[in-house]
Amino acid sequence: MTEQPSADDPSTRSTAPTVAVVDAQSPGNVGTIARAMKNFGFEDLLLVDPPELDPDGEAYGFAGHAREDVLPNATEITFDTLVENYHTVGCTAVTNEDDRSHVRFPFSTPAGLADRLASVETRTAVVFGRERVGLTNDELARLDEICAIPANAAYPVLNLGQAATVTLYELRTLTLGDEDTQLPDVERVRATPPTEDRLYEQWSSLLEELNHPEEKREKTMRMIRRVYGRADLTEREANTFIGLLRRATERPDLE
């Protein structure tokens, strides 16, 4: 682990948020967070009172490819230096039982935070707390803002690694462009109006073959249009339905 940074350290000038963990306690949690950081394009990990990170231990075992960079480059920092040098966002569960004038209010969701941070160039640290007791009220009171993941009111407290993963997933828009994610950019070819017309004509023919009652046909056709309208069919899907409907219409046992 490297020494704590000075305010002028160029490695900490990135506008992508830094991730900070206060007293992570379990090395496994540090590894899980480092891996989530690598998955979602975050590089700078700050650790306040970190546990021992043995290269043959859980932290490196859980970190996946982050064992090559995020984890060995993690920096130890004091809480004081963290709050002095960063715009700090404290992540904590918030419930209806919390006093509204309390240090947990007001709060953003991770998605709201991502939107807001997109338009500011502040050196931000997203701060997570201890597995057992989270961030203390005294610590939360010293942070600039609060972020809470909306979860089940009956049990909104995620474990540390999960909380960091969900939060960093939402914040990925600050670090990864579309071209940086692995999902292929497959062009979705919507069914063209002439294909849709052929689809509805084929349905009409089938209703005819089925001797569907005349007085119901208009309503039935409207329903079919609405269903396909909501389904937002691709050209290929529409053609598959046309083929199936044609085969159904031409079945000799319908005559």
Ligand X SMILES: C[S@@+](CC[C@H](N)C(=O)[O-])C[C@H]1O[C@@H](n2cnc3c(N)ncnc32)[C@H](O)[C@@H]1O
Among 63, 143, 160, 207, binds ligand X (CB under 6 A): 160
What's the N-to-C CA distance of the chain in angstroms? 80
The answer to whether 91 contacts ligand X (rule: CB under 6 A) is yes
Which run of H or E residues covers position 244? helix 235-249
| SS3 of residue 168 by DSSP | helix
Please work out, in degrees rounded to the nearest 5, the angle formed at the alpha carbon of residue 117 by the alpha carbons of 175 and 44. Answer: 45
Span near ligand X by CB under 6 A; candidates 147-155, 210-218, 220-228, 237-245: 147-155
Span near ligand X by CB under 6 A; candidates 76-84, 91-99, 113-121, 227-235: 91-99
Nearer to ligand X, 42 or 203 (CB): 42
Residue 123's contacts (CB-CB under 8 Å, 6 or more residues apart) are: 12, 13, 14, 15, 18, 85, 86, 87
Which run of H or E residues covers position 222? helix 214-231
The nearest distance, CB 169 to ligand X, in angstroms, is 13
Nearer to ligand X, 157 or 221 (CB): 157
Q: How far apart are CA 107 and CA 90, in angstroms?
A: 9
The nearest distance, CB 124 to ligand X, in angstroms, is 15
The nearest distance, CB 159 to ligand X, in angstroms, is 5
Q: How far apart are CA 68 and CA 243, in angstroms?
A: 53
Subset of residues 33 to 52 that bind ligand X, contact rule: CB under 6 A: none
Contact between 140 and 75 under an 8 Å Cβ cutoff? The reply is: no
Nearer to ligand X, 43 or 131 (CB): 131
Among 19, 30, 53, 163, binds ligand X (CB under 6 A): 163
Nearer to ligand X, 97 or 218 (CB): 97
Residue 223's contacts (CB-CB under 8 Å, 6 or more residues apart) are: none
Span near ligand X by CB under 6 A; candidates 52-60, 155-163, 170-178, 186-194: 155-163
Subset of residues 115 to 134 that bind ligand X, contact rule: CB under 6 A: 128-129, 131, 133-134
Please report, for the chain, how many H helices and E strands are present, in that order. 9, 7
Residues that bind ligand X (CB under 6 A): 91-93, 128-129, 131, 133-135, 148-149, 151, 156-160, 163
